[in-house]
């Protein structure tokens, strides 16, 4: 893993009002979140993703907006990734005041019928969507407590409530993340660390192009906007909200899943619902 250090690691700088660590920051929702947070006064951002050239370009753009930006090029599933991110934040910014756990992937495969499905797909999905989140949070938690009031925002998904064929591993990982976030919120409240959960529905990004949805006249209506998700992250991370679902009309699907689950099962199990089995082309 490589990291860029515009300042000497031996001379940590005082933390400003906002020191935000954003994972999966090289594109999509992570990039949108970084751009939104860069508008906060005196923002200091740490961008984390695998693609260093993307991070370098984004950092230059955000620096032009007045933010102080560094980056860590890392695969968060690597054993040493959490400690290297933690050490970079300490050296360059002091203590973090916001952690946005956004990096994730949805490797589409049916459990028992595809070569890349089965347990191997679940293990690969959980390694990034769940295990990596817990490992990074564990590494940064002492510093987040020291910087309190501070916040953690975990990006789960509406799929945590409504599972689709071909996306069982993704839904399971996001359901685990959402449940863990609820427990962590209660555990960390006495320490001054707020934990928020954002649950997006479908929205197109490089990693989730949603081509199938964009091609359908009705299915296009299900698409949200990543800037709205970024704003939801700000509401949870900087405004103290516990949870945000976006677009808001996805609340109806979650309510139906709880009240009339057979209706949701009939919908997602139909032939027409195959359009919802969107493909993934990137894992950031």
Catalytic residues, which ones?
Answer: 170
**Chain-centre distance of CA 74, in angstroms?**
15
First to last CA, the chain: 16
3-class SS of residue 45 = strand
Q: Return left, alpha or beta for 123; rule: phi > 0 is left, psi -120 to 50 is alpha, else beta.
A: alpha
CA distances for 125 relative to 85, 109, 271, angstroms? 21, 11, 25
**65 phi/psi in degrees, rounded to 5:** -85, -5
Instruction: State how far the Cα of 3 lies from the Cα of 69, in Å rounded to an integer.
Output: 12
* Nearest Cα to Cα of residue 140 among 75, 199, 193: 193
What count of other Cβ atoms lies within 10 Å of the Cβ of residue 254?
A: 17
Q: Decide: 210 and 276 in contact? Cβ < 8 Å.
A: no
Q: Which two tokens stand for residue 23?
A: 């994972």
- C-alpha span between 179 and 192 (Å, rounded): 20
From the list 78, 92, 181, the residue with the least C-alpha distance to 143 is 92
- The structure tokens 């005041």 sit at 97
Contact 185, 195 (CB under 8 A): yes
State the Rg of the chain over Cα.
19
């Amino acid at each position: 893993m490589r990291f860029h250090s515009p300042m000497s690691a031996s001379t940590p700088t005082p933390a400003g009002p906002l020191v935000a660590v954003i994972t999966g920051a090289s594109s999509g929702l992570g990039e949108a979140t970084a751009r939104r947070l860069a508008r906060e006064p005196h923002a200091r951002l740490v961008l984390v993703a695998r693609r260093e050239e993307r991070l370098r370009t984004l950092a230059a753009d955000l620096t032009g907006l007045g933010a102080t930006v560094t980056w860590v090029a890392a695969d968060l599933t690597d054993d040493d990734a959490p400690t290297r991110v933690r050490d970079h934040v300490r050296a360059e910014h002091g203590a973090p005041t916001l952690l946005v756990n956004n990096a994730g992937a949805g490797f589409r495969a049916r459990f028992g019928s595809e070569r890349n499905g089965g347990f191997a797909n679940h293990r690969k999905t959980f390694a990034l969507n769940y295990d990596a989140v817990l490992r990074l949070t564990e590494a940064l938690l002492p510093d987040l407590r020291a910087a309190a009031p501070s916040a953690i925002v975990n990006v789960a998904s509406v799929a945590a409530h409504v599972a689709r064929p071909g996306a069982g591993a993704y839904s399971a990982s996001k359901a685990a993340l959402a449940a863990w976030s609820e427990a962590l919120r209660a555990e960390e409240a006495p320490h001054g660390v707020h934990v928020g959960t954002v649950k997006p529905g479908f929205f197109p990004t490089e990693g989730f192009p949603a081509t199938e949805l964009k091609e359908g006249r009705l299915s296009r209506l299900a698409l949200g906007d990543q800037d709205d998700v970024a704003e939801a992250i700000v509401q949870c991370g900087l405004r103290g909200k516990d949870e945000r679902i976006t677009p808001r009309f996805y609340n109806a699907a979650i309510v139906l899943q709880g009240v009339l689950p057979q209706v949701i099962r009939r919908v997602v199990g139909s032939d027409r619902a195959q359009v919802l089995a969107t493909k993934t082309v990137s894992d950031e």
